[in-house]
Structure 1
Amino acid sequence: MGNHEATSLRQASAGTAKKLGARLFSFLIISDTHVNHEEAGSSSPWPSNKLANRRSRHVFAKARQMDPAFIVHLGDMVHPVPDQEIYGDAAQAFFELSAVVECPLHLTPGNHDVGDKPVSWMPAGVVTEATVQKYRETFGRDFYAFRHDGCLFIILNASLVNSGLPLERDQQSWLEATLAAGGADRVFMFIHYPLYVSDPKEPGGYDNIDEPGRSWLLDLIAKHAPEAVFSGHVHNFWYDVYGSTEMYVVPAISFVRQDYSEFYKIEPGPENGRDDAAKLGFVVVDVHEYGHVAKIERSYGALLESGEDVAAEARLDPIHTKTNGLERIGVDLRHPWSEVVEIAPSGGVDEFGRKFARNDYPVLALWEMGVRTLRVPLQDLAAPNTRRRMELLTAIGHRFIVYLYNLPTAAEQGMLASFHHLVAACEIIMPWPLPSDALARLVRFRQDVGVPVFLSKLRPRCNGANGSHRFSHAISHGFVLDEAAELASLLSLSPGLADGFVFRVGREASVAAWVARLQDWAATCGTQAVLSVRLASDNPAENANDDSANANRVAEAVFGTFAADRITIVLDAFTDIDRGYFARTGLVDRRYNPRAAGAVTKNLHAHFATRTASGRTVHPVRQADGGIIFAHTGADGLELLVLPSKHHATVREIALEESVLPEAGTGRCINLRKGTVREFDWTVMSRGGAVKMRLREEIVESDPMLLCFENDEMKLLMGGNDERDSLAR
């Protein structure tokens, strides 16, 4: 043992995270507010449309608190169309609602603001010179550019494209000249209609720009390579890359386009999906030296009444996958994550044909949590469409663990070799004990393919043993801790066999205990480990749908792994499994809206993005009133993870082992479900033997929480004697 030093999972080709450099400034993107002419009325028949003004008021109040450099509105400022008498009243309401923001507000014309694109089947009025003039008199310029800090921002009038109006040619000439004269400027473009939703070659319809205008714009994008293009209109999220340009379709503030509820193999959200409020929100764009990060800020359809304001609240700043340096927290993508779905015509828009669209909400959820490492089957690498998505995600920092059963065939080995740049590690599940020729073949495969190899064990089932009448057709794989010594011997005999091993911790076992033991074992053997963290019961008929319990389990796993540099955990599973076998809740539900476990993952990633992982000491588990506590000490001070066992956990007094402490200090309490942060004060009550600290006020939380003691003078030397005073009471 100890003579074999395996490599870790290979980093994505973009490096630890995309090399963006320092953040220069931030701006907001708001889209599709659909403000009505009156506070609680609408010309639309859906109840959710009547909430648009109050939802907009809330978002503009939040925007004022965030103090961005500027805001870009992507269109459909108002719901009434230009030929309705109430159009002017709605515009006035929009200006009143948006007047609270103190930064510049740049407006992009939407089809509700300036008229629909010119097609014969469009039920509303199409764009005309008169509607453009009305827009200009009401909102201002309909295509223009502005600069900020070395960047050029271009606003386009999407409805003019393919219109045949003289104004169309004016916009074309202006855009071509503006891009040609852009010089060294970094360029961002904004347009209401997406050029396309999922595929540049998709048919024209209500949700995109038709030909020939689409090809004209795409050719300009290919030639001038703007950094990003942002679109609205579809009230849902999509992401793609065209050439080197990142293409975004962003959510709405007001309501969701409910025809895309076809994405989800579950009943639609409220109002047939139109009021699936978790999908409402805006975009925070951080512009860095060498790129940008677009983060979706969910508003959840929050309402703000006239005369009210949004309470100021300290919160963690979410970390996007692009900028997250922590790559050892992964998820198992059991469900399709880049699925193209047929959207059935239902009598609304796009009535005369089928349309196909890719569900990108899994990607949105992963980015919002900051998750980088993704476990997928080999079929995902083999399928061209999914492989292209792997290419795009690898370029921004994702890593893929590709798994298969048994030694790969010649064709599979060739595919892995051809696309090795997309594979951070290859997980091979093998029958055990290994066949006689397997050792040599594994060594050759690892050498020939050039990707890290992690071995997992197919576990036999002892069905019917000891006279039992129970039988289960359920597969189990992954090593257990009791087999670690056997693996160490195997590594000594065949040092080139594998880069690491895959272990599986059952739902009832402590993840923190497994992580600590695996870290010590891997360090001794000079190897790495992947730990599959089961959220499911070992009983395939039992539903593990306790959302709070799963949130606790995920918090324990992520917190423990941060201090273990030889362990990668894979949370199983990412999405709810609500049918079939081993039903359990995941990090997101079947509509890909965040669950408590997903929120905990997001907020722990956000917290750890500012912390130092090296040199941390993990301390034994202690009991709190109504919960349990895990502890780290390190360069950042002391951190306590408090997990409520039932309704809530309470912390007031904290007993530490022999330590050197200042007399008092200030700490932070982070609610890991909400991301809220509040400060607390503590003082030393007694010294000698153990040291007791007391919080000025009792902290009670029903969600997992993190207590951070960050005083610069603090030098903690906590011991491991469980028989002393409990850590919190």
Structure 2
Amino acid sequence: MTDTPLERRPRGACLARLAILADTHIRLPEDLPRAQWTANKLANDRSLRALEQIAAARPDCVLHMGDVVNPVPSDPSYPAVSRFAAGLMAPYGFEIQVAPGNHDVGDKLAFVTPAHGISEDSVALFEKLVRPNWSAFDVGPVRTLIINASLIGSGLPQEAAQWEWLEGELAASSDRRLFLATHYPVFMSRPDEGSLYDNIEPDGRARLLALLKHHAVEAVFAGHVHNFFHHILGPTEFHVLPSPSFVRQDYAELAPVAPDTAGGMEGGRNDTAKLGWAMVEIFEQGHVVHIHRSEQPQDAGQTRPARNAPKFHPEGQPGVHLRHAWAEPDTIPLNGPIEPFTRRRQRNDYPLLALQEMGARDVHIPLSDLDDPLYLQRVIDLGSLGFRFTCFSLGVPAPALAEKATALPCVSALEVILPWRTIADFTAPLADLREVWDRTLTVACTVSASDHREGGSETSYQVAFGFDHSEFDLLTQFHEQTGAALNLGYSFRLGESQDVLSHGRDIAGFAERLQLPAFMHVTLGGNHPGQIQRSEAQVTARVVEAAVLAKTTGLKVFLDRFTDTDRSYFPGFGLCDRLWNPRLPGRALAAVTRLLADQPAAELLSTDRIGTARVCRLSLGDRIVEFALPSDGDMPDGFAPLVADAPGLPGWRGLDTPAEITSLEATK
């Protein structure tokens, strides 16, 4: 096969589904009380819960990424716990392919490791008790190759045999799509990084990467780090998967706040929102990985195949404004037993996971991000996964920066923020920008105490951007005189006290009348610079209304804010908390976009009241969906919660037949 990058957007039918779990760390029941963390004591129960969820999902095949058991081969209990783990998994009725982990065969032979290293005896013992150390299996059109990653760089006789097998298998499968399964990630941050506890040794890694490139391997799956990471290198996606049992707490250093240890998080090891397993959908072209958070209750729409992920190129879903850093690595301090001698520079990919889950394909970032090589590469990578970027600039950007955006197909729009009092001064620079930028271009006004509006306060902590929905006359006049000739659109800001649906639909009507693009930024916080003014439930309702607006109008809607603001100015709740775990608003957004993703647009038939709840009725071709937004936590009868175990939050119901719809009219 060539090294041409694969098409990452899935096309055609889903031909097979592969369930993957990693790092179960099963122990003998009598050994559980001796575990040093509560999370480890729960590993068996959590592994069983994940297996039950996998069985209910009925995949075509199941793959375990290693560390099936917690005792290492040098532990006297290893044979017994290996047999116990096999018996624990047997009742579910599916064969489980296994990529041996370091707890299964011993650590890789690096300069120093926390436990005993791999040996000829441990390799033979794994093969005797569990499965072959390297093997291949087919799932749909894909050939998946399993390797023993601890062997790479070991110099053991089995290493040479594995290389010979791998190279032969790759050559023999030159006409097949290929996956690779390895317990250790091939790399964690950079392909040329040094030896770490969490990667394949450098010499063997270079050889392996050359093979992956030469044979255009579509995906590599790994475990070991008990956290989610995602990389792209050439034709290959590298998926590093979470564990259903516990989190590696050294990576909690990547969050800007400490885990709630007093609340049971054990320094991040018991951060249950990060536990999970993966379902890989394999299409005629391409694949999509869905992470199932196994310790989180099932929200609305999770029983259906998710089609809201950016890889599917969905339309009519809200985007997000990325205030916080999202592409640059942070430093993990020296800390044994994992890495007491080397500082690790690592990017946090939980923001990416949240964006994928919520269906936030459109992201709003500063144009200046493209001047940073790390951000630029990440924009390119995420663009290949279906993400679209709207880049904003305070002032008309320099030609070189605009040309950099022009070279990126995934940058779909530029948004120029200008002081409206002197807008006439920018006509010529905007015309020059139009010479290099032929995609969507919107203008937003600055918002502050010194802006163009009359009657403002003398001073204000509020500095923002975007027109108000009351400024249609001002914009109509400008558009007739200047904007139409430059093919401009306009960006609006929906303030803290403004109604998302009614004011948003007014903006959509304005854009439709003038036949121009319009963006709407929906603020989720309050208007006090030092106090939280909206509850999480109120933010959730606002997010659901924004999702309805995005699906039923031509507006591009951005939610501001993606994650909590818990310091600085204007604190409030976002879609995620500062550990990058989805909050109730984020989970509700994921549920709504899952429910509506099968159609690019919907028609808003009505907004009514049932009791104290606002009810939005949407038509999606042959079916009707209603969302109820209770103002007092009292959900109308017949509606199910969007977010499990949160009955006072917005709910939904699907109406599939005309008789069913007619019968409900009397309840209004």
**Residues 155 and 190, structure 1, Cα contact 8 Å, conserved in 2:** yes
Matched ranges for 1:588-603 at <5 A: 588-603=576-591
Q: Are residues 1:445 and 2:440 paired?
A: no
The CA deviation at 1:632 is 2.7
Q: CA deviation at 1:520?
A: 1.4
Any idea what SS the aligned residue of 1:159 has? helix
SS in 2 for 1:376: strand
Asked if 1:475 corresponds to 2:475, the answer is no
**Cα distance between partner residues in 2 of 1:488 and 1:55:** 59
Indicate the SS of the match to 2:579: coil
Q: After the TM superposition, which residues 453-532 of structure 1 pair with which residues of structure 2 at under 5 Å, given as runs?
A: 453-461=441-449, 471-494=459-482, 495-532=484-521
Candidates 284, 291, 295, aligned match of 1:296: 291
* Residue in 2 that maps onto 1:542: 531
Q: Distance in 1 between matches of 2:439 and 2:22?
A: 43
Counterpart amino acid of residue 623 in structure 1? R
CA-CA distance at 1:64 after TM superposition: 1.1
TM-score after normalising by structure 1: 0.85
Alpha-carbon distance between aligned partners in 2 of 1:423 and 1:435, rounded to the nearest angstrom:
25
Residue 90 of structure 1 deviates from its aligned partner by 1.5
Question: What is the aligned partner in structure 2 of residue 55 from structure 1?
Answer: 46
1:244 aligns with 2:230: no
CA deviation vs aligned residue, 1:666-720 (integer Å, no higher than 9, x gap): xxx553213x9xxxxxxxxxxxxxxxxxxxxxxx9422111221205678899xx
> Helix, strand or coil for the counterpart of 2:60?
coil
TM superposition shift of 1:370: 1.7
How far 1:650 moved relative to its partner?
A: 1.9
Q: 2:163 aligns with which of 164, 172, 182?
A: 172
Contact 1:36-1:42 within 8 A present in 2 as well: no
Unaligned runs of 5+ in 1: 1-12, 303-309, 653-668, 677-699, 719-724
Query: Does residue 134 in structure 1 map to residue 122 in structure 2?
Result: no
* CA–CA distance in structure 2, aligned partners of residues 56 and 24 of structure 1: 27
Cross-structure match for 1:607: 595
| Residue equivalent to 1:567 | 555
Compared with structure 1, are the counterparts of its residues 643 and 356 closer, same or farther at alpha carbon in structure 2 (3 Å cutoff)? same
Give 1:332's match in structure 2, choosing from 307, 315, 321: 321
Matched, 1:710 2:661: no
SS at match of 2:539: helix
CA 1:208–1:135: 2 relative to 1, 3 Å: same
Matched with 1:275 is: 270
1:431 lines up with 2:419 in the alignment: yes
1:284 aligns with 2:279: yes
CA distance in structure 1 between the aligned counterparts of 2:108 and 2:122, rounded to whole angstroms: 12
User: 1:685 corresponds to which residue?
Assistant: none
- Aligned in 2, Cα 1:228/1:612: closer, same or farther, shift over 3 Å? closer
Farther-moved stretch of structure 1 (43-52 vs 242-251): 43-52
1:68-92, CA deviations, whole angstroms, 9 ceiling, x for partnerless residues? 0010000000000011111122212
Give the percent of matched residue pairs that are identical in Structure 1 and Structure 2: 32
**Aligned position for 1:655:** none
Equivalent position amino acid for 2:276 in 1 = G
Secondary structure of the structure 2 residue equivalent to 1:649? coil
* DSSP 3-state at the match of 1:95: helix
CA-atom RMSD in angstroms = 2.7
Give the distance between the partners of 1:361 and 1:177, measured in 2 at CA.
37
Q: Deviations over 1:87-137 (max 9, x none)?
A: 122212211221132222101100000111112421311111111111111
Residues 645-684 of structure 1: pairs in structure 2 closer than 5 A: 645-651=631-637, 669-674=639-644
Summarize deviations over 1:117-163 as a string: whole Å, max 9, x none: 11242131111111111111110211011123332110000111011
One-letter identity of the residue aligned with 1:622: D
Runs of 4+ in 1 over 4 A off after TM superposition: 465-470, 712-718
TM-aligned CA deviation for residue 462 of structure 1: 6.0
Alpha-carbon shift at residue 413 of structure 1 (Å): 3.2
Distance 1:387 1:20 in 2: 27
Distance 1:468 1:151, change over 3 A: closer
Is the 1:68–1:103 contact (alpha carbons within 8 Å) kept by the matching residues of 2? Answer: no
Secondary structure at the aligned position of 1:278 is classed as helix
Distance 1:246 1:50 in 2: 33
1:599-645 Cα offsets, whole Å, 9 max, x none, are: 1111111111224625x2442x3332342222234633433210122
Q: CA-to-partner distance for each residue in 1:505-543, whole Å, 9 max, x for gaps?
A: 112211000221112111110012110000011222221
1:420–1:315 distance in 2 versus 1, CA, 3 Å: closer
The number of residues matched between the two structures is 656
2:210 maps to 1:219: yes
Distance 1:537 1:727 in 2: 35
1:188 and 1:227 in contact (8 A); partners too: yes
SS where residue 421 of structure 1 aligns?
Answer: coil
Q: Which residue in the other structure is 1:694 paired with?
A: none
Equivalent residue of 1:239, what SS? strand
User: Could you tell me how far apart the structure 1 residues matched to 2:517 and 2:404 are?
Assistant: 25
Are residues 205 and 420 of structure 1, via their aligned partners in 2, closer, same or farther at CA, if it must alter by over 3 Å? closer
Q: Which moved more, 1:534-543 or 1:78-87?
A: 534-543
- Measured against aligned partners, the alpha-carbon deviations of 1:543-592 in whole angstroms (never above 9, x if no partner) come to 1451111111100110122110x201100011111110111111111111
Query: Retained in 2: the 8 A contact 1:60–1:97?
Result: no
Residue identity matched to 2:568:
G
**What is the CA-CA distance between 1:466 and the residue it aligns to?**
11
Cα offset, 1:491, TM superposition: 1.8
CA deviations 1:367-394 (Å, max 9, x no partner) are: 1112100000122111111110100111
Q: Higher Cα Rg: structure 1 or 2?
A: 1
For residue 522 of structure 2, give the secondary structure of its aligned residue in structure 1.
strand
One-letter identity of the residue aligned with 2:557: I
Shift of 1:39: 6.0
Q: Name the CA distance, whole Å, in 2 between partners of 1:194 and 1:314.
A: 29
In 2, the alpha carbon distance for the partners of 1:325 and 1:612 equals 7
Task: Name the residue aligned to 2:136.
Answer: 145
Quick check: 1:322–1:396 contact (8 Å CA) kept in 2? yes
Choose from 599, 613, 619 the match for 1:627.
Answer: 613
Alpha-carbon distance in 1 for matches of 2:519, 2:301: 38
Q: Give the direction of change, closer, same or farther, for the CA distance of 1:313–1:475 in structure 2 (3 Å limit).
A: closer
